[in-house]
């Protein structure tokens, strides 16, 4: 089973991202994350987030174990290039190309599992069919009461903070411009 995660239009040049991608290609997920934590490159942090996202996809959607996953493929492609100009001597303008990258991480399993069940998303119609509609309504009512209480607390705080100003400052800020 393979799972993917994509990161598009990251504002780092593909040439720089490929250095980090080559360092973790083929490693286990935990080893790759450890290596990325101690990599002193700007693209290491977005790469950590991307690998964590791919692991979350595998665990949540397919029920795979994190310890069984490895980075099967990681590709870094060029994204949109922003074109800017810099003035130089004798009235010339030289181009500046601000490159971006698209990264795709594909995770695979070291030992294939046979009983993979893709989780199904439950919609509101399914809840009605299951007969839990009363429980759903009760939960919605409870959440509505909690949000109203929080709104009341916020308005009380705002009213306390916006109490009338006293003294000299009150006269300055309440004047009408003539």
- Assess if residue 13 is contained within a domain: yes
Token pair for residue 112? 């294939």
Helix axis angle for 14-24 and 29-37, nearest 10°, is 130
Does one domain contain both 23 and 87?
Answer: yes
Alpha helices in 96-167 (DSSP H): 124-130, 133-161
Q: What parts of the chain have a pLDDT lower than 50?
A: 178
CB proximity list for 31: less than 8 A, separation 6 or greater? none
Does one domain contain both 13 and 83?
Answer: yes
**pLDDT value of position 142:** 72
CATH number at residue 46: 3.90.470.10
End-to-end CA, the chain? 74
- Assess if residue 114 is contained within a domain: no
Helix (H, G, I), strand (E, B) or coil at 138: helix
Does one domain contain both 91 and 153?
Answer: no
Rg (CA), the chain: 27
**pLDDT value of position 178:** 45
**pLDDT value of position 137:** 73
**pLDDT value of position 37:** 96
**pLDDT value of position 141:** 75
Task: Give per-residue pLDDT as tens, 108-154.
Answer: 999 888 766 666 555 555 555 555 667 767 777 777 776 666 666 65
Does one domain contain both 16 and 91?
Answer: yes
Does one domain contain both 135 and 105?
Answer: no
Q: Are 69 and 28 in contact (CB under 8 A)?
A: yes
Does one domain contain both 10 and 72?
Answer: yes
pTM metric for this prediction:
0.65
Give dist(CA 6, CA 28) in Å, integer: 18
Does one domain contain both 98 and 128?
Answer: no
- Assess if residue 178 is contained within a domain: no
Does one domain contain both 88 and 62?
Answer: yes
Please name every residue paired with 106 in a beta bridge, in sequence order, or none if there are none: 4, 73
Which structural domain, as residue segments, surrounds residue 11?
Answer: 3-109
Task: Give per-residue pLDDT as tens, 147-156.
Answer: 666 666 656 6
Does one domain contain both 39 and 83?
Answer: yes
């Amino acid at each position: 089973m393979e799972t993917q995660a994509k990161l598009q239009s990251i504002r780092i040049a593909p040439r720089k991202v490929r250095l980090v991608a080559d360092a973790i290609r083929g490693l286990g997920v935990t080893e790759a994350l450890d290596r990325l934590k101690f990599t002193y490159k700007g693209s290491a942090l977005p790469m950590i987030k991307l690998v964590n996202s791919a692991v979350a996809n595998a665990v949540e959607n397919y029920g795979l174990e994190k310890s069984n996953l490895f980075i099967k493929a990681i590709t870094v492609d060029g994204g949109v290039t922003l074109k800017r100009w810099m003035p130089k001597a004798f009235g010339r303008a030289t181009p500046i190309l601000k490159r971006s990258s698209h990264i795709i991480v594909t995770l695979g399993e070291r030992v294939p599992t046979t009983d993979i069940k893709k989780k199904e998303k439950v919609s509101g119609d399914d809840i009605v069919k299951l007969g839990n509609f009363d429980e759903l309504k009760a939960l919605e009512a409870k959440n509505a009461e909690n949000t109203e209480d929080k709104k009341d607390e916020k308005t009380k705080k705002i009213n306390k903070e916006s109490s009338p100003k006293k003294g000299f400052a009150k006269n300055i800020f309440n004047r009408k411009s003539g």
